[in-house]
Structure 1
Amino acid sequence: MKNIIVTFILFSASVNADFIAVSFGGAYGAAQQKYMIDPYVKKTGNKILFENYSGGIAELKAQVESGQVNWDVLDIEYIDLERACSEGMLEPLKLDDLPAGDNGVAARQDFIPNALHECAVGNIVWSIIVGYRDDINQKPQSIADFFDLQKIPGKRAMRKRAQVNLEWALLADGVAREAVYQLLATEQGVRRAFAKLDTIKNNIIWFDSWSQVPQMLNDGSVVMGQSANGRLFDAITKGAKFEILWDGQVYDLDGWAIPKGSKNQKQAWEFIKFSTQSKPLAGMQDVAYGSTRQSSAPYIAESIKPNLPSAHLSVGLKASGEFWADNGEDLGERFLAWQIKK
């Protein structure tokens, strides 16, 4: 009976909404609600059902292949975007319809490189970093320390997917940033990455949602964890005793996309155009995520800039959506097999 009631409530909410948007929740979702969702609803009167999901393309693929597409707007990580777009899971977008920036510059010139994609409009620049408790005896100085159990004993939190974990393994094993994807495209590189992951496998606690990492750090389940930089920044600003290691950050973009077969594409596209204007994008500074428009710069506080991924690009790696589009299915299966192997 309880499940029936919950299902009815969700169904009723979706019926009353003009469209459904999904993102990652937490402080990031709250910022999107404040600067994108609420202003759009106020301006247009349209109702949005704003839900959370855990990322990746599994749910999206299942909806599209079944013909039961429930979502209308999807916040997608660009590391997944190439594959989702090339495999027909997303609608093509009319990028020339995007409004100019607040500085009057046309959208195609205003958005930063790679932000505009045939299937998505970039909404943040973010990164995956190492977060750690500030009470550990020896603090990590490099990504290699994440894999050094002698130097820093204790459990590590890692997201349950191949992306970034394999890159980190090679970086920690001494591979230069510019050579990571070239090496990972070879069997030798893949084996080397898994061998490095083997060294900490018994000390990994796996997670699905970014919201889990601050909780695990806070309760002492782990001493270090892989995290979205904004999640850690938000926790720290609220008093959590965590610190961020920027070395080895894998930085990327997120963007709004429309699932193939969405029933409310017109409303979805109007929302995307509205929410990717200069000011709404600047609002993501609340969680230390960078804007994808250059015209947002006047709205970014000087005090926040050192906390943005863009301030630490020299020690980071740009995620390659192209690599994962070509290799994601195979490496994803190998990673899952490795993970469950005793």
Structure 2
Amino acid sequence: MSRSLRCSVPFALAFLSASVWAAPQDLTVISFGGATKQAQEKAYFQPFNASGAGNIIAGEYNGELSKIKAMVSAGHTSWDVVEVESPELLRGCEEGLFEKLDPGRFGDAANFVPGALTECGVATYVWSMVMAYDQSKQAKAPQSWADFWNVADFPGKRGLRKSAKYTLEIALLADGVKADEVYKVLSTPQGVTRAFAKLDQIKSNIQWWEAGAQPAQWLVAGDVVMSAAYNGRIASAQKEGMKLSIVWPQSLYDPEYWAVVKGTPNKALAENFIAFASQPQTQKVFSENIPYGPVHRQTLPLLPKDVQEQLPTAEANLAGAQAVDAEFWVDHGEELEQRFNAWAAR
């Protein structure tokens, strides 16, 4: 990769081909919407468009691979770049839904967090599933997922994402399993039974959420006393003046990835966009607008200390946190989601 990848944003596209001087080519980039997409617009989409390198057509989806699979099967790929969670990246790569990428195309791997450059994707940020609560509505602050289960001292509804993923890990953490042993326990039938038994204890107190914006809304409205939530959504609410707090210990963190849909005629431009979005300077703008952790190691020093402290990749916030095991969810996700849905419906 050209050394220009490390220069300032106005010169950051020097490595692009001369074709950028022609009429800008459309590139459809699909992400998860909400506050994350707004930050992507400011950090990546608008600057890329302004450079003349291409014309981003931004869309959003819920992360389902079925839409991508249908495109690839039909041989009609209308999406070029998609944001995917780590298990979906692994699964989609195995199923041939994503183009194989050359990691060297995006820079020195040593400049990125471990696992950022993969066969079929490039990490774009690190997020955390955290516990959040409204400090203005709590006489005392919850400290752990065990407190989340303590309905005697913290009466009221609790918010959890309506899925096996994250929810089963949280249940085991609440039951006293050490963070680094969660997936070892969850990979056994006894561990799965233990997690559901723990969820049974507070099932009548759970308010299930499916959209990332819901936890903050429910906390402010007083509909729930605490909730599992995406750290970036809570931080955005804090910026708007909402008195919400994050409990970082026992959080679950995971990278999100850019992947290129198999069969796109715009693979070269897609890789150019991903390279552009992987620079310290563009990642700095992203993390300034939403506190998700940058994947390029040279980004953190560019950010103010108060911003660094809100990021999942800040050293203090990683202490006691656990990485989501993507391979576990690829291997066991389907069966566990089916069991979870059956359990939740009862």
TM-score class normalised by the smaller sequence: 0.7 to 0.9
**Match for 1:245: what amino acid?**
V
Kindly tell me: are residues 71 and 204 of structure 1, through their superposed partners in 2, closer, same or farther at Cα, counting changes over 3 Å? Answer: farther
Kindly tell me: are residues 162 and 57 of structure 1, through their superposed partners in 2, closer, same or farther at Cα, counting changes over 3 Å? Answer: farther
Asked if the contact 1:139–1:152 (Cα under 8 Å) also holds between the matched residues in 2, the reply is no
Specify which of 180, 195, 198 is matched with residue 182 of structure 2: 180
**Separation in 1, partners of 2:159, 2:261:** 31
Asked if the contact 1:127–1:251 (Cα under 8 Å) also holds between the matched residues in 2, the reply is yes
Kindly tell me: are residues 17 and 166 of structure 1, through their superposed partners in 2, closer, same or farther at Cα, counting changes over 3 Å? Answer: farther
1:145 — aligned with what?
147
Specify which of 14, 17, 28 is matched with residue 20 of structure 1: 28
Give the 3-state SS of the residue equivalent to 2:128 in structure 1: strand
- CA drift of 1:165 comes to 0.6
Deviations 1:39-88 (A, max 9, x none): 11111252222122223534434444454543211111224322222222
Kindly tell me: are residues 133 and 47 of structure 1, through their superposed partners in 2, closer, same or farther at Cα, counting changes over 3 Å? Answer: same
Kindly tell me: are residues 333 and 67 of structure 1, through their superposed partners in 2, closer, same or farther at Cα, counting changes over 3 Å? Answer: farther
**Match for 1:52: what amino acid?**
E
Higher mean alpha-carbon deviation, 213-222 vs 178-187, is at: 213-222
Kindly tell me: are residues 62 and 333 of structure 1, through their superposed partners in 2, closer, same or farther at Cα, counting changes over 3 Å? Answer: farther
**Match for 1:321: what amino acid?**
A
**Match for 2:344: what amino acid?**
Q
1:303 — aligned with what?
306
- CA drift of 1:127 comes to 0.5
Asked if the contact 1:131–1:242 (Cα under 8 Å) also holds between the matched residues in 2, the reply is yes
Deviations 1:20-39 (A, max 9, x none): 11112222211111011111
**Separation in 2, partners of 1:146, 1:239:** 24
Asked if the contact 1:131–1:227 (Cα under 8 Å) also holds between the matched residues in 2, the reply is yes
Counterparts of residues 48-127 of structure 1 (less than 5 Å): 48-98=56-106, 100=107, 107-127=108-128
- CA drift of 1:221 comes to 1.9
Specify which of 311, 316, 320 is matched with residue 315 of structure 1: 320
**Separation in 1, partners of 2:161, 2:75:** 29
Which consecutive residues of structure 1, in runs of 5 or more, have no partner in the other structure?
Answer: 1-15, 101-106
**Quick check: 1:36 aligned with 2:41?**
no
TM-score by length of 2: 0.87
Asked if the contact 2:283–2:296 (Cα under 8 Å) also holds between the matched residues in 1, the reply is yes
**Match for 1:300: what amino acid?**
L
Which consecutive residues of structure 2, in runs of 5 or more, have no partner in the other structure?
Answer: 1-23
**Separation in 1, partners of 2:78, 2:272:** 18
TM-score by length of 1: 0.88
Give the 3-state SS of the residue equivalent to 2:169 in structure 1: helix
1:324 — aligned with what?
329
**Separation in 2, partners of 1:60, 1:204:** 32
**Separation in 1, partners of 2:34, 2:191:** 35
How many residues are aligned here?
319
**Separation in 1, partners of 2:68, 2:145:** 32
**Match for 1:156: what amino acid?**
R
**Match for 1:119: what amino acid?**
C
Asked if the contact 1:83–1:324 (Cα under 8 Å) also holds between the matched residues in 2, the reply is no
Specify which of 165, 184, 189 is matched with residue 163 of structure 1: 165
Give the 3-state SS of the residue equivalent to 1:295 in structure 2: coil
Kindly tell me: are residues 317 and 81 of structure 1, through their superposed partners in 2, closer, same or farther at Cα, counting changes over 3 Å? Answer: same
Asked if the contact 1:124–1:255 (Cα under 8 Å) also holds between the matched residues in 2, the reply is yes
1:291 — aligned with what?
294
2:18 — aligned with what?
none
Kindly tell me: are residues 156 and 261 of structure 1, through their superposed partners in 2, closer, same or farther at Cα, counting changes over 3 Å? Answer: farther
**Match for 1:337: what amino acid?**
A
The share of aligned pairs that are identical, in percent, is 39
Asked if the contact 1:78–1:321 (Cα under 8 Å) also holds between the matched residues in 2, the reply is yes
**Separation in 2, partners of 1:110, 1:328:** 31
**Quick check: 1:335 aligned with 2:343?**
no
What RMSD over aligned residues (CA atoms) do the two structures have, in Å?
1.9
Specify which of 240, 252, 261 is matched with residue 250 of structure 1: 252
Deviations 1:112-132 (A, max 9, x none): 111111111111121010111
**Separation in 1, partners of 2:215, 2:225:** 10
**Match for 2:110: what amino acid?**
Q
Kindly tell me: are residues 334 and 65 of structure 1, through their superposed partners in 2, closer, same or farther at Cα, counting changes over 3 Å? Answer: farther
